[in-house]
A and B are shown apart, each in its own frame.
Chain A
Amino acid sequence: MGMSAASSVSEAMKLCIFDLRRGQHEGQELDKILYFFPADLPFPTQLSVIGLSEGLITFTRIFSPEAPCEVIEAEKHSHVFYEAECDIWMVMVVEKSESEAIWRTAALRSVLKEVHSLFVMFHGSIRALLDREPSGGLTRTHLYYFIMDYLSDFLSGKKLHLPNFRDSLKERGMVQMLTIGREAALEVQSLVRVLESCAGCTQSYSLIMFQDLLVSTTLSPDDLVNLFTYTVMRLTPDALSAGASSWSYLRKGSTTSNASGSLLTSSTSVLDRYYSSRDTSPVGVRSYQVVRPLQHEKWSKGKDGFLVTDIWGTGVGSLSPSSPTIWLKQTEERMYLCAFQHRSLTIILFIPVTSVHNGEQGLPVVKQQILENASSKIIKVEEKLSRGWGGENAYHVSGYRYLLVDGDRYISRASPPGKVTTLTKDSLVAMSKLREEVDLEKSRAKCDGSDCEKDQEICIRAKNGAWVISRLTRGKELYMVLEKANETLLYASEAVEKFSDRYCSGVFSL
């Protein structure tokens, strides 16, 4: 069953990770492959994908040494490149054959970026893993399970649904925030203070979410994006009740998670293939202990309100599961992840592993502290936020379909997915194309080193009469589709102006 799923998927998408520093001698080419999806593809085919990628990276360096190959557009496929770490490349190959297969390069690349930075958060950098164990077996095993688990989120039925034109009013790698009133904000603030004191150490961080919207955090923006993404994927109440009809900016429509695992073929045999073809590795794959933080249905809510999982295995000499840990980019430190949930409110504390006495034995103390000191505040905050919460269409602005991105702060807000789906295909394709154009200009401005002041306005009236609009100003971006608008440009401009004044504090107003 696994195999058949994988091969039917293979026609639509390939994803590989390879290391330019490995396998440079004839006969050792396989050594450069760190990951390949679909895993059951014959080696010659895998090597031909990687050979083309390598060839073009080298070729484009002749003219563009600083920024080598980013994308290959062929008649039937797009090859999207991402240099995740120095000399470690990720390449995704997607088909263009069917009518839904209209891609935006940057959107696909952000999938690569996301999976890589999540991987680093849990396992550390790929290079560090390779250095730790030069045979590559450890790295391959970790990448294999991690990416398979990650990709299963895109699976619906037997097909992978990668972001296409229908997602042109979405932005991956961004955080969505809950707008709260002043009073609630004060309550949240005081809760944060209590939580920090519970952690009992100054280097701890907190993350508070309502549904899948951010309420408050003390994390750095980089770390926030990763942890926000992970929380939405696996920890929010919706994520816990996996498969149930859930509302989420990130996940809506893209996945039903009960498909988990179907991408995983008989994994050990797949990984073994890289070894059986060479005889250098004395280490069998099975000997690696694999942590799979993205595995589905592994988190649950305990009686005390704390979220528990056995993903990290069980501690030595104890029956209780080991506590989850992650790497923070900002402090380059391993942290315990301690999550508590009360109804729609999810609270996560990050505590440096080094600061907890007796290793994991110290964590229950922290938890006890939270239950004793913070419960009442948590209940209060949850009630307050629930009362003020406008439901899944809270950020719908009637007449508008929009996406608002603050690139400096990694924050975005968009029309609810349910509303975006009312747009016609033509409007969405037009928006996708417009965004591709804007993406290019942004990346060029970045090459010139003058990105901060890019100021641009594009209003297009498409063939179907819809207005497709983009505005760029001071690191902020606004994309908008107006389908039922009047035909004059002035009317469309005015609509943008109104929106900007009302919802963006006039940032996009002239």
Chain B
Amino acid sequence: MADLSDDDRKPKVGPSTDSIDQSLDAIENQLSSISVVQSEFDSDLDTEEASSSNQDKLANGLLNGNPGADSNVLEDLSSVWRNMSEEMEAPSSPSSSGYAAERGSNNASSSRDIGIEEVDGEIVEIGNSDSFDGVSDSQVQWLPGKRHGNEDDASSSWRKRKKHFFILSHSGKPIYSRYGDEHKLAGFSATLQAIISFVENGGDRVNLVRAGKHQVVFLVKGPIYLACISCTEESYQSLKGQLELLYGQMILILTKSLNRCFEKNPKFDMTPLLGGTDTVFSSLIHSFSWNPANFLHAYTCLPLAYVTRQAASAILQDVADSGVVFAILMCKHKVISLVGAQKASLHPDDMLLLSNFIMSSESFRQLVIEAGVAFEDTDVTVNGCANFSIFVLAFLHVANVSFGVARTSESFSPICLPRYNPMAFLHAYVHYLDVDTHLILLTTSSDAFHHLKDCRVRIEKVLLESNVLNEVQRSMVDGGMRVEDLPADHGSHSGAVSAHLGQPGHTREPSERFAEAFIGVGGPAGLWHFMYRSIYLDQYVSSEFSSPVNNRQQQKRLYRAYQKLYASMHDKEIGPHRTQFRRDENYVLLCWVTRDFELYAAFDPLADKALAIKTCNRVCQWIKNIENEIFLLGASAFSW
């Protein structure tokens, strides 16, 4: 690394880069001046050149089915490609992939971003935390995709971002950065690599560096290095968990066999393989601030009457018996039903990553609203093959769903479930039944598309006949459990299916029901919110947000408080603790961990302790009473 000439290392940016360059140089010099340690820093940082040549190779390898392609992965995938191409009428060149196009469309929509920037832009100091309280954040939609792509480590705005994520290769090549241009961050990336390998050469492994409010968390996964630089007050365990998920997301797209690429060529440049997947990563990172599944390692279900869910499960089971490994019916990130083939079980983290991958990739959705243009089932476009990683066939067709006409796509794409088998691809058939409801069928066979399509048709028919889709819509409108509805003590309710989550008295005017953001007034004893995780089911349920947790900023703060509480309860060395009570200026938080479940509850900071405890008991009782509506029961046992 000492051999690096300045020209090689300096990102080619404006004159203002001098200071940062000097400090980065200084760091490397500090590390490298010590000749004891031989670091094999890769001096080839001219990423652009390397990547484009690799890209060419890949493209050639793929298009020609070239046996001399870079690696086994490529061979695997090029066979996928060949299989797929049989079903394609007009394969477009990989360089004009759907993902690249998406990137463009995100840029195009960036004008809509403006109001959102600060909601999730996370600039320290700049965004006064309460300044956008007036905005009804629940209505502001977060848009995935790379932000601030023109920044680099010389920009002061870049340095002030609250939470950075980086993926780099062990030779220091940038693979992904949440903010800024990866190519311009080559020098910064090299510094991260230098830190990691310096410690590694000393026979140790660096996990965390703390500086004031900042934490730098490192994760090494073979040839892949991940780092997070954050001043969000999240615990080390939480941030590390997020890096694990980020890595998992990458494996989901590429499989772990990418390690072999690095074995063959340590300077291997991965960026082209992930081209266009920015949205997948950015949406995962966004979910780190709202989706409890990230730290609870559990999934959540859409509340449904037991019989309705049973009906869905029955038809999925039917399909699973015919060679489908997993059949999953979801509405947004909530599970309607999930069925695995014999002995196969789906880890909640895999589910999270899969569902993020699908929901963040527009190509799976392809909702075409151009009225008057009639598409037939057979219109086929090639979509989203970023060089080789993603081949998506989108068959546009007209879906005659009772509640409206929408053109939805079906896609067939290789994906890897990192917890299920990190080395191999499964093939995911994805079909949107309506705007939010989608069906995922996973199979090991790359030529099962037509079979899965038939399965889908059967499933869709049954779902329509048994009114499941309508029930799903209704449940979406009704929402989940509300703290206001917590039944009084010794509530002798029957668990009637017709009532909304065990609340017979709970009826809402249609107009009210369709109000998109329900804001409650809080529950008894100052109860604001709760989350309940069933340990055996690997599922959790959380209440709807209630006043005063009624904007995104508040929700994010509560989310972070839960996350901290979770980390504190689940200490690696001495955890899990049994109970925790925590009071500060924001909340009273109660956590209760038993062998069967974990309960997390947030109260008004002035809540009475004894009443809060009583209320938690009532919440648990309530959940027990309606568990067959809020959980998916009798799914194949999860062996984790």
What residues of chain A have their CB less than 8 Å away from a CB belonging to chain B? 26, 29, 44-45, 47-48, 51-52, 54-56, 58-64, 66-77, 102, 105, 426, 429-430, 433, 437, 443-444, 447, 455-463, 465, 489-490, 493
Q: B204, A77: Cβ atoms under 8 Å? A: yes
Cβ of B191 within 8 Å of any chain A Cβ, yes or no, is yes
Given A447-B213, A460-B579, output 10 extra A-B contacts at Cβ < 8 Å. Answer: A71-B209, A73-B207, A73-B208, A74-B199, A430-B571, A430-B577, A456-B583, A461-B577, A489-B613, A490-B609
Q: A433, B571: Cβ atoms under 8 Å? A: yes
Report the minimum CB–CB distance from B558 to chain A (whole Å).
17
Cβ of B31 within 8 Å of any chain A Cβ, yes or no, is yes
Report the minimum CB–CB distance from B37 to chain A (whole Å).
6
What residues of chain B have their CB less than 8 Å away from a CB belonging to chain A? 20, 23, 26-28, 30-31, 33-37, 153, 159, 191, 194-195, 198-199, 202-214, 216, 229, 231, 233, 236, 568, 571, 573-585, 609-610, 613
Q: B582, A447: Cβ atoms under 8 Å? A: no
Q: B205, A75: Cβ atoms under 8 Å? A: yes
- A74/B205 contact (C-beta < 8 A), A44-B34, A63-B214, A63-B231 known: yes
- A74/B207 contact (C-beta < 8 A), A52-B199, A490-B613 known: yes
A306 to B166, CA, bound (A): 65
Which residue of the partner chain, among A59, A63, A490, contacts B27 with CB atoms under 8 Å?
Answer: A59
Q: A426, B574: Cβ atoms under 8 Å? A: yes
Q: B210, A71: Cβ atoms under 8 Å? A: yes
Q: A62, B153: Cβ atoms under 8 Å? A: yes
- A70/B581 contact (C-beta < 8 A), A62-B153, A102-B573, A463-B575 known: no
Q: Which of chain A's residues have a CB closer than 8 A to the CB of B578? A: 461-463, 465
Q: A52, B198: Cβ atoms under 8 Å? A: yes
Q: A461, B30: Cβ atoms under 8 Å? A: no
Q: State the 6 A-B residue pairs at the shortest beta-carbon distance, nearest first.
A: A67-B212, A60-B211, A44-B36, A461-B579, A55-B30, A73-B208
- A51/B30 contact (C-beta < 8 A), A61-B23, A67-B211, A458-B580 known: yes
Q: A58, B30: Cβ atoms under 8 Å? A: yes
Q: Which residue of A lies closest to B589 (CB)?
A: A458
Which residue of the partner chain, among A58, A73, A455, A493, contacts B23 with CB atoms under 8 Å?
Answer: A58
Q: A70, B34: Cβ atoms under 8 Å? A: no
Which residue of the partner chain, among A51, A56, A66, contacts B34 with CB atoms under 8 Å?
Answer: A51
Q: A47, B34: Cβ atoms under 8 Å? A: yes
Which residue of the partner chain, among A77, A447, A490, contacts B212 with CB atoms under 8 Å?
Answer: A447
26 A–B contacts from the bound complex (CB under 8 Å): A29-B34, A48-B198, A48-B202, A52-B199, A54-B30, A55-B31, A56-B27, A56-B195, A56-B209, A59-B216, A64-B213, A73-B236, A75-B205, A443-B212, A455-B584, A455-B585, A458-B580, A458-B583, A459-B579, A459-B581, A460-B568, A460-B579, A461-B580, A462-B577, A463-B574, A463-B577
A462 to B309, CA, bound (A): 39
- A69/B574 contact (C-beta < 8 A), A47-B36, A489-B579 known: no
A71 to B35, CA, bound (A): 24
Report the minimum CB–CB distance from B570 to chain A (whole Å).
11
Q: A60, B581: Cβ atoms under 8 Å? A: no
Q: Which of A26, A51, A70, A456 has the most CB of B within 10 A?
A: A51
Q: Which of chain B's residues have a CB closer than 8 A to the CB of A29? A: 33-34
Report the minimum CB–CB distance from A25 to chain B (whole Å).
10
Q: B31, A52: Cβ atoms under 8 Å? A: yes
Report the minimum CB–CB distance from A489 to chain B (whole Å).
5
- A48/B233 contact (C-beta < 8 A), A68-B211, A444-B213, A455-B585 known: no
